[in-house]
C-alpha cells in the first residue's frame, strides 16, 4: 500500500472500523440493483422495479438526514442500532411480499420504511474527520480511500446481488444485502473508541438544519442530477444485458464502471492538487456529464463496459472533492448531517433516474433509455456552473468544520484544505 494510505491506518481502531464499514456499506450497491433483478424475474415489470428502487431512494432521502441529525446529537451507537433493525424488518417484509405475489401497494409500503439507515460511508467519513481534523493531507487521503472503498463495494456488490438472484433464487441478493447491513453496522457501532463525540443541543442552541448553508445547497442540488446518472445507468444496464440474452453480465459491466472510479480514486489520494477545490469539483462534474454521451452509441456489452470504465474515472475524485467542500461549508456539530444530505441528493436523483429510465425502457427499449443518463449529466453540469459563486462564498453562522481562514477579498484560504 502506498505510504500515504499506510499512514492513515497508524491510528488505533482504523482497520477495525474500515472492515466493519465495508460490510455496512455493501447494501448501498446491492439492495437497489437486487430489487430490480428480483422484481424483473418475478414479474417482468421494469417499470415496477424502477419505481420500487425510486421509493427506496426517496425513503433514504427523507429518513437519512433526520437519523443523521440524531447521530450528531446522541452518537452513532445509540441511534444506528434501532434504525438498522427497522430497515431490516422492512426489507424482510418486502422480500416475503414479493415472493407471495402481494399487491403493489404492499411492496411500496415496506420499501418506504427500508431507508431508515443513513449511508455507512457518512458514518465512516465522520470517524476519519474526527481523527484527522488537524491533518488536511491525511484527511484528503482518508476521503480518497473511502471513495475507493465505495467503488470496491460497487464492484463486488452488483456482481454478488445479481449473481445470487439469478443463480440461487430471486430474493437472494436483497437478502444477503440485509444480512450484511445488520452485521456491518452492529459491528461498527460496537467500536466506541473511534466514534465521534456527539454534540447534544444546548438550550437556545442553533437547531437549524445543515442544509441552510448555501454551499451545501449547491452540492446537494448537483448531486440530485448526479444520482439520476447512477440510478438510470444501473437500471438501463440490467435491461440492456437482458435484451442481449445475458442479464447476469450486467453485474460485470457495472463492476467495470466502478473499477474505473476505484483506480481514479486511488491515484487521486496520492496527489496534492493546488488551487481552488471548487474549480476541481466543477471540472469533475463536467467530466461526468461528458462521459455519458458515448453510452448512447453502445451496441453491445463490451462497448458499454469500455464506455462505463472511462465514465467511472471522474466519479471518485469528484466525490473526494465534495467531502472536502462539505467540511468547508458545514459546522463541525453538523458534519454527519451535512454528509448525509449529499447522500440524500444522490438518493433523490437515483429515485428519479431509475424510475424515468424504467418507463423509457418499457416504452422504447434499453438503448434509448441512456438518453436519461445524458440528460442527467447535462443537468448536473448546469447546476454546478450556476452555483459556483455560492461555493466560493464564506459560510455563514457557525464555524465550519474546515476552519478555513479568509483572504482579505473574502474568499477562503485554500492553504488549510488541499483541493
**Which domains, and CATH codes, for the chain?**
13-198+210-395+409-416 (1.20.1250.20)
Question: What 3-state class would DSSP assign to 400?
Answer: strand
Closest to 219 measured CA to CA, from 391, 24, 417, 37: 391
- In degrees, rounded to 5, the angle at the alpha carbon of residue 324 between the alpha carbons of residues 318 and 326 is 100
pLDDT at 378: 93
Q: Which three cell numbers stand for residue 121?
A: 460511508
pLDDT at 405: 36
pLDDT at 380: 92
Closest to 150 measured CA to CA, from 346, 295, 7, 334: 346
Q: Which three cell numbers stand for residue 418?
A: 488541499
pLDDT at 377: 92
| DSSP for residue 201 | P
Distance from C-alpha of 260 to C-alpha of 313, rounded to nearest angstrom:
5
pLDDT at 415: 32
Alpha helices by DSSP H, listed for 203-334, are 214-243, 249-270, 277-290, 301-312, 315-329
pLDDT at 333: 65
pLDDT at 289: 92
Distance from C-alpha of 40 to C-alpha of 49, rounded to nearest angstrom:
6
Place of cell 442553533: 206
| DSSP for residue 387 | T
Q: Counting every residue, how long is the chain? A: 419
The full DSSP string for 89-158 is HHHHHHHHHHHTT--HHHHHHHHHTTT-S--HHHHHHHHHHHHSTT-HHHHHHHHHHHHHHHHHHHHHHH
Closest to 19 measured CA to CA, from 183, 151, 262: 183
Mean pLDDT, contiguous 10-residue spans, the chain (419 residues): 72 87 83 82 78 80 79 84 90 88 87 80 83 79 80 74 81 88 90 80 58 77 89 86 81 83 81 73 90 88 91 86 78 70 77 82 84 92 86 54 38 33
* 167 contact partners, CB below 8 Å, separation of at least 6: 248
Place of cell 462534474: 285
Rg, Å, the chain Cα set: 20
pLDDT at 403: 42
Question: What 3-state class would DSSP assign to 134?
Answer: coil
Amino acid at each position: 500500500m502506498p505510504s500515504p494510505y499506510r499512514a492513515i491506518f497508524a491510528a488505533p481502531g482504523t482497520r477495525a472500523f474500515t472492515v466493519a464499514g465495508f460490510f455496512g456499506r455493501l447494501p448501498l450497491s446491492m439492495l437497489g440493483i437486487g430489487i430490480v433483478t428480483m422484481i424483473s424475474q418475478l414479474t417482468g415489470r421494469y417499470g415496477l422495479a424502477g419505481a420500487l428502487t425510486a421509493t427506496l431512494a426517496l425513503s433514504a432521502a427523507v429518513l437519512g438526514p433526520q437519523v443523521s441529525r440524531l447521530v450528531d446529537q446522541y452518537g452513532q451507537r445509540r441511534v444506528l442500532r434501532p434504525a438498522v433493525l427497522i430497515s431490516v424488518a422492512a426489507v424482510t417484509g418486502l422480500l416475503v411480499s414479493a415472493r407471495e405475489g402481494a399487491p403493489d401497494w404492499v411492496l411500496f409500503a415496506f420499501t418506504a420504511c427500508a431507508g431508515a439507515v443513513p449511508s455507512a460511508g457518512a458514518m465512516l467519513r465522520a470517524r476519519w474527520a474526527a481523527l484527522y481534523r488537524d491533518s488536511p493531507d491525511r484527511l484528503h487521503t482518508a476521503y480518497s480511500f473511502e471513495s475507493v472503498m465505495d467503488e470496491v463495494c460497487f464492484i463486488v456488490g452488483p456482481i454478488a446481488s445479481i449473481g445470487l438472484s439469478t443463480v440461487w433464487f430471486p430474493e437472494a441478493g436483497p437478502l444477503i444485502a440485509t444480512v450484511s447491513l445488520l452485521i456491518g453496522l452492529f459491528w461498527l457501532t460496537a467500536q466506541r473508541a473511534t466514534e465521534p463525540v456527539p454534540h447534544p443541543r444546548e438550550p437556545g442552541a442553533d437547531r437549524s438544519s445543515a442544509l441552510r448553508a448555501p454551499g451545501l445547497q449547491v452540492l446537494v442540488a448537483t448531486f440530485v442530477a448526479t444520482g439520476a446518472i447512477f440510478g438510470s445507468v444501473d437500471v438501463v444496464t440490467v435491461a440492456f444485458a437482458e435484451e442481449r440474452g445475458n442479464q447476469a453480465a450486467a453485474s460485470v459491466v457495472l463492476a467495470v464502471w466502478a473499477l474505473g472510479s476505484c483506480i481514479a480514486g486511488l491515484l487521486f489520494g496520492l496527489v496534492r492538487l493546488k488551487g481552488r477545490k471548487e474549480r476541481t469539483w466543477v471540472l469533475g462534474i463536467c467530466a461526468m456529464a461528458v462521459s455519458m454521451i458515448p453510452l448512447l452509441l453502445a451496441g453491445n456489452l463490451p462497448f458499454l463496459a469500455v464506455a462505463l470504465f472511462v465514465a467511472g474515472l471522474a466519479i471518485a475524485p469528484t466525490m473526494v472533492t465534495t467531502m472536502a467542500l462539505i467540511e468547508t461549508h458545514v459546522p463541525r456539530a453538523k458534519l454527519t448531517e451535512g454528509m448525509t444530505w449529499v447522500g440524500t441528493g444522490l438518493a433523490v436523483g437515483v429515485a428519479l433516474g431509475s424510475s424515468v429510465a424504467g418507463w423509457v425502457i418499457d416504452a422504447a427499449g434499453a438503448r434509448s433509455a441512456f438518453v436519461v443518463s445524458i440528460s442527467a449529466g447535462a443537468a448536473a453540469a448546469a447546476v454546478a456552473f450556476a452555483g459556483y459563486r455560492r461555493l466560493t462564498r464564506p459560510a455563514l453562522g457557525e464555524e465550519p468544520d474546515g476552519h478555513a481562514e479568509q483572504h482579505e477579498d473574502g474568499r477562503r484560504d485554500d492553504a488549510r484544505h488541499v483541493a
